[in-house]
Structure 1
């Protein structure tokens, strides 16, 4: 089983959040998860929901601030072992091209 999640952790502050977001991403390195950061968050893959939630808690607590906002969306497909890349590949197959475009 693979559990896939979209995670966004950020302090509620004025100005740039990148330094604190980097702390959240770096905290994931202490766990047996795969991840890829994009402009809107970080996609995380773990073998179990427990591993995923431990990593998410570490990312959340790594961010300094009086107020921290965390968004978590979990896809726990319990009957198959689909990776995040497989989901993108399926969409691209229907599109007949890559699922991205640059302006």
Structure 2
């Protein structure tokens, strides 16, 4: 996979957004992408930017609301393929440990 993105999309409401965020995440299943959701968003990997943007558009449209906010950050490394996991592994190699802490 060569295109990695961080997506956060949600309705602008005061109540829980979980139901609407779940709709956005579920919409990704219709596209040839892999993803992992975390507390701050969803990391998406795709073979190309067009596939990624189609998936992101579907996720945005899946959220109901009078106002929907979407944040997208794309890393399109065009010189070689690198997975999101490989990027984390590189940081962990520099740290000499996992990139997590215990609380």
* TM-score interval for Structure 1 and Structure 2 normalised by the shorter chain: over 0.9
Q: How large is the RMSD of aligned CA atoms in angstroms?
A: 0.6
Q: How far did 1:102 drift?
A: 2.2
Return the alpha-carbon distance in structure 2 between the equivalents of residues 68 and 49 of structure 1.
Answer: 22
TM-score scaled by length of structure 2: 0.99
> Which runs of 5 or more structure 1 residues have no equivalent in the other structure?
none
**Are positions 1:54 and 2:80 aligned together?**
no
Q: For 1:51-74, what per-residue CA distance to the aligned partner results, in whole angstroms no more than 9, with x for missing partners?
A: 000000000000000000000000
In the alignment, what sits opposite 1:7? 7
User: Which residue does 1:88 correspond to in 2?
Assistant: 88
How many residues align structurally?
A: 103
**Equivalence map 1:61-80=2 (5 Å):** 61-80=61-80
Moved over 4 A (4+): none
d(CA) in 2 for partners of 1:100 and 1:60? 30
SS in 1 for 2:23: helix
- Unaligned segments of structure 2, at least 5 residues: none
Residue 72 of structure 2 aligns to a residue whose secondary structure is strand
TM-score computed with the length of structure 1 as normaliser:
0.99
